[in-house]
Structure 1
């Protein structure tokens, strides 16, 4: 996620810019840095929280009326001082901060190194100042050099660049990563998000993809990527600071659910790296997943996917139970550890044991975390920081990584094609909010909920039930539909809400019959299925999806509506969904 602030003022910028970047701490970060212009580029940066770095190097004690700053959430390279932004050109005349992922940075870096450029970090960002330097030396000003640079970039970016040769301006650009402009009487601002500038101005211009901005103290010029000026509306922000941190959403959980379409794009960009990791695997004839909580449910879907698509024996082990299974590992077993934080104590302990005998792979959201340093291979989920305790976008990104892993292991172009459609499917799911709100109102007082699925969608039932338990405190259970007659059917009474997960596919007929059995016993049915399914039209509460989402892909999309159902039920019960009682975001003690 990261955070950018840039400003040009009629006074020293460092105190203002550091206060502004503090307002983006909620986005999650591991390092901080600032660059200002005088007769040279002045840079201060370090790894750690703003206060920690400020105590060491005094971030505000730096001269200049123009500057850029950054809080970094590591994506390429560990969270070190060298990898912290800003990054400079070889001649130290240009400095850049950047949010996003440059997918072709390796190719660009190799090209620039051949031309004599020297790199000081492991980041994808550092190619940007070097490219700008290259084009300025060809006779371009900062604006045109930046334009030429972004035309070379594949991926997402929000960036800000300054140059000692043009000390009166900041050039910014945006593609698939947020960037806004703040307009004030004392000067002008660039930022990743509104909270950064609320103490200075409430006059904001929202930039769109493929737009470039030239920021001067008394002037703002917005252009398209052909540098043709664009007239943009100046919006007056009336959010309070807390609302602003949440992007106008009432809670982080809802904000993070709405970020899932972008998370899908960002995580799918890891496909080439996953393919490279797969090429390095040793021979194995067994796979084990090790995880806790929500990550355990993602692993269960991985088990179904691997055994059906790759025909490799697979099992999923709760990290807290791992010690009872560890003696079955050997050098032909691939052990996959899934954890959002990379610091989960049970998972880390299991990894240290497994790596003694087996090849290990970690699927993690936090670069540089303990588990990433222990595993043989690492896949990053690219979900960005998640503030809400209940996992939403991190769960989805874990699933995408698992699906990409299986697609590359099997060389399955069909699966890759299906994954390419996820972004549009997810946007459609977010349109169901009003229907879901009505369902939440109807069942907010329920004492029990049941979630029913089969095959790939049994773990989705488990995850849907977990979300409801976590943030509404309603007792909820997920069951495989084929197990109903082996006990759970005895719990079904008149009026109990039952969520049936019913996508098209081979398991549909049996699941449909199971759900009919439940309905016959008086339960209130909530069905997730296809809009083309005429058999379920008689059921009162339906959450319907686009045609074409078969049961293999359904776990990646149906979960969005189950997350929304839990969220709106918690709102109806007047419970804060971001801070469920007794729970923590990362369990770092055994």
Structure 2
């Protein structure tokens, strides 16, 4: 959560930083601010902060543009101290301005020590202690790099820091531990940011900082040090995302654009990973050899939110396709106990951002216990891949909407490749079955496009049911995780109460909720569970419930029971989640749009959850 942008170079910093912060709005925030060092009035730090949306900061900056070509900016998501201008970043103490993402766990202890030394705090945040520590070291004669190094030795917890010193023209310092920070090398200018899209319009030469590292940035380049202060020589990576990928492309919201980008996300994730003759699949980039795959006795998938629903789907694939025992766990619960994992387990940590703090902690815990860790992530060089032995990247491109869509289906594609590779290498998946699944998987993008075209009536369905305040989503087998995901999407962006249930559990409680005011979304493709799903729908209708069905063909037995029906493209049963999730995303989107909620940045949510 939160976003940092820092710049040093020939351009006016304020507008560039504001533009970078706009590109980080998807991370979620409740206040924002910038600090610019002026070259014209003796190195004064001009700090502008405000509570609320970034447009308020933009208006304040336009009224009195801070001059200077060196600056830092921040969007804050409150963790310590309520959202307010006083608690917004940057925090200035003396000659220092600081922005920070993360949580300083020992902030109360350090704050008491600093107050005992006579230092006065103006905010409720944990961040302000970093500003005081750095200012104190500078007052003792330390250089800015030395002062930051001293400060981070006192800090426990997670941080990404960017620091300006009024007495240090043409340079700034950044530091990182367990909170994302990337550096960008331009032509006579240097950047730092929480995520690549913030700086991609200016450079595609990116360096991802590692844990404990510190960097001094100047217009001519940067100097990177490790946690011990030793120089680090790391070549930049070239990122091939276009800045245009992060724009709406004519859609009303990023989320709607990203829903329609899902076929491409699956294609890109599969590209180069399936042999032309369909005889084999590869986990390109994962470097997971055949001996390691054959040694796997169990697959443990850990994830949060939407990624957890992808993990639940993959659990079924690991067992049905690879014939390997598998379990999917919420990362926050996995890390909260003493899990029984060992060197025979493959622990798959699934995270769109690659920075989800609970998933990162779960992966680290499993690694400490000897398990082999495979990360599935969409962001290059993010924290979870760096904590893993192996990484299988999805190739969904930047996902700006906070409610994940295209990263979800890209995760499904990557996880199915893993199941196929496991089954193939372990000899548990016969060749004809392997070839059949691969062939069906390659057809999925075209089936997804077909499904999106068939869902043109989604706005009308949304209008019909928009007044309903409570929803129930039902599914069986591979459709159960999709019921959970559909309910989550509606909750996230429309702020309506929705619950996903295994349909067989309906009679064990949820059936008491059903009446005409609680729409039931029934996910009923024609697989081995279809007849039982029709039975569940009969039970709903008997209680005057209204039904929205998601199925894969017109059916004379089903149609009379349903108020509305979405008919998705056909595929083999295990792959139905790629298709059945699409109308649920569209339904949630159109209801939220009708309600006028902030679809791309729902309240209280953030794209990258880097705090507990």
Q: What band does the TM-score fall into relative to the shorter chain?
A: 0.5 to 0.7
How far apart, CA to CA, are the structure 1 residues paired with 2:599 and 2:289? 38
Q: Is the 8 A contact 1:47 1:79 kept in 2?
A: no
Query: What are the equivalent positions in structure 2 for 1:229-378 lying under 5 Å apart?
Result: 245-269=247-271, 271=273, 273-274=282-283, 277=288, 279=290, 281=292, 283-356=295-368, 357-378=370-391
Deviation track 1:455-498 (CA, whole Å, cap 9, x = no partner) reads: 01100000000000111111101111111111211111124211
Contact 1:47–1:53 (Cα < 8 Å) also in 2: no
Asked if the contact 1:298–1:398 (Cα under 8 Å) also holds between the matched residues in 2, the reply is yes
3-state SS, counterpart of residue 397 of structure 2 = coil
Q: 1:456 to 1:48 in 2, by over 3 A?
A: same
CA contact (8 A) 1:503 1:550 kept: no
Q: Is the 8 A contact 2:469 2:496 kept in 1?
A: yes
Residues in 2 aligned to 1:560 and 1:418: alpha-carbon distance in whole angstroms: 18
Deviation at 1:289, TM superposition (A): 0.8
Q: Is the 8 A contact 1:448 1:475 kept in 2?
A: yes
Aligned to 2:479: 457
Query: CA separation in 2, counterparts of 1:435 and 1:477?
Result: 23
Determine the C-alpha separation between the residues in 1 that align with 2:291 and 2:555.
43
SS of corresponding position for 2:574 = coil
Tell me the residue number matched to 1:564.
Answer: 586
Partner of 2:161: none
With the length of structure 2 as denominator, give the TM-score of the two structures. Answer: 0.60
**Counterpart in 1 of 2:157?**
none
Residue pairs, 1:215-226, within 5 angstroms: none
Aligned to 1:403: 416
- The Cα shift of 1:413 comes to 2.1
Deviation at 1:431, TM superposition (A): 1.6
Match of 1:166 in 2: none
Shift of 1:45: 6.5
Alpha-carbon distance in structure 2 between the residues aligned to 1:407 and 1:52: 32
Post-superposition Cα deviations, 1:261-284, rounded to whole Å, max 9, x if no partner, equal 211111112626516535362512
1:95 aligns to what? Answer: none
For residues 191 and 291 of structure 2, the distance between their equivalents in structure 1, rounded to whole angstroms, comes to: 31
The alignment covers a number of residue pairs equal to: 402
Q: Which ranges of structure 1 fall in alignment gaps of 5 or more residues?
A: 1-13, 35-42, 60-67, 81-119, 126-156, 158-176, 179-191, 196-244
How far apart, CA to CA, are the structure 2 residues paired with 1:414 and 1:482? Answer: 29
Secondary structure at 1:301's aligned position in 2? helix
1:134: which partner in 2? none
Q: Following TM superposition, by how much is the alpha carbon of 1:505 offset from its aligned partner in structure 2, in angstroms?
A: 1.2
Whole-Å separation in 2 of the counterparts to 1:193 and 1:417 = 32
Measured in 2, the distance between the counterparts of 1:325 and 1:389 equals 29
Q: Answer yes or no: is the 8 Å Cα contact 2:474–2:500 preserved in 1.
A: yes
Provide the rounded CA distance (Å) in 1 between the counterparts of 2:524 and 2:573: 8
Cα deviation, residue 71, structure 1: 3.9
RMSD: 3.3
Change (3 A) 1:341 1:270: farther
User: Quick one: structure 1 residues 50 and 492, their matched pair in 2 at CA, closer, same or farther if it must change by over 3 Å?
Assistant: closer
CA distance 1:479–1:194, change in 2 (3 Å): closer
Change (3 A) 1:447 1:343: same
Q: Does 1:543 align with 2:566?
A: yes
Distance in 1 (alpha carbons) for counterparts of 2:329 and 2:436: 29
Q: Deviations over 1:317-369 (max 9, x none)?
A: 11111135534111111111111111111111111111021111110111111
TM-score, normalisation: structure 1: 0.62
Separation in 1, partners of 2:235, 2:348: 29
Deviations 1:8-42 (A, max 9, x none): xxxxxx979x98999688667955455xxxxxxxx
Cα deviation code 1:183-223 (max 9, x no counterpart): xxxxxxxxx6399xxxxxxxxxxxxxxxxxxxxxxxxxxxx
